[in-house]
Homo-oligomer: A and B are copies of this chain.
Amino acid sequence: MVRRSGRRPGNQDTRQSILESARTVFAERGFDKASIRAIAAGAEVDPALVHHYFGTKEKLFLACMNMPLNPGELVPKALAGPREEAGERLVRTVLTVWDSPAGATAVALMRSAMSNEWTARLMREFVVTQILRRAVAQLGIDEKEAATRSALVATQIAGLAVVRHVIKVEPVASAPVEQLVAAVGPNVQRYLTGDLPGVF
């Protein structure tokens, strides 16, 4: 027996056209300047249909990244708690996510961002607007320092992903999560809240 979901799947061609147009518009204009109107125009559909299929602009963005996780839920949870342990909690969260089934998608996305300029742009928009911006706001980081601190955090987190999951250098590739949290957490903490003489 074929199971049917309660909701109609909608026209797959229309969904696909909207997703393709969204990828183009997000990559060209960035997340902030991308409009549902422009995405709808690119797909030759009514803007109301975009909202109908995907809800908010943010949800559409997650859908066109094939992103099975919602940073809007994940980031606040990862960073809740004492400010001076935010680095460790952030590292613990990303390591746990990458080791989960959903993590495979994130790693695949990163691989693809390396070899494809457009995926790289989408990836950058995703990291900056969906993850780093939320983290900075939640930790109350000085606005003048926020972009630099969060890009520095990105260097450590991206490199951890590359070495653990892509190039697989031992012992980092198979180290237990808590050992990496102890090793990498304080370095991320310094980027988030530490003194950075010579930078600011």
Within 8 A of B (CB), among A145-190: 147-148, 151-152, 154-164, 166-173, 175, 178-179, 181-184, 186-187, 190
Contacts of A113 in B (CB 8 A): 166-167
Given the known inter-chain contacts A158-B162, A159-B159, A198-B182, please indicate yes or no for A151 contacting B169, CB distance below 8 A: yes
Task: Mark the stretch among A2-10, A13-21, A59-67, A119-127 that contacts chain B.
Answer: A119-127
A98 CB, nearest partner CB in chain B, Å: 13
Interface positions of A (Cβ within 8 A of B): 110-115, 120, 123-124, 127-128, 147-148, 151-152, 154-164, 166-173, 175, 178-179, 181-184, 186-187, 190-191, 196-199
Extra A-B contacts (18), CB below 8 Å, given A114-B114, A151-B169, A182-B198: A110-B114, A113-B166, A120-B167, A124-B167, A124-B169, A127-B169, A151-B171, A151-B172, A154-B172, A155-B164, A155-B172, A156-B159, A156-B187, A162-B162, A181-B198, A183-B191, A183-B196, A183-B198
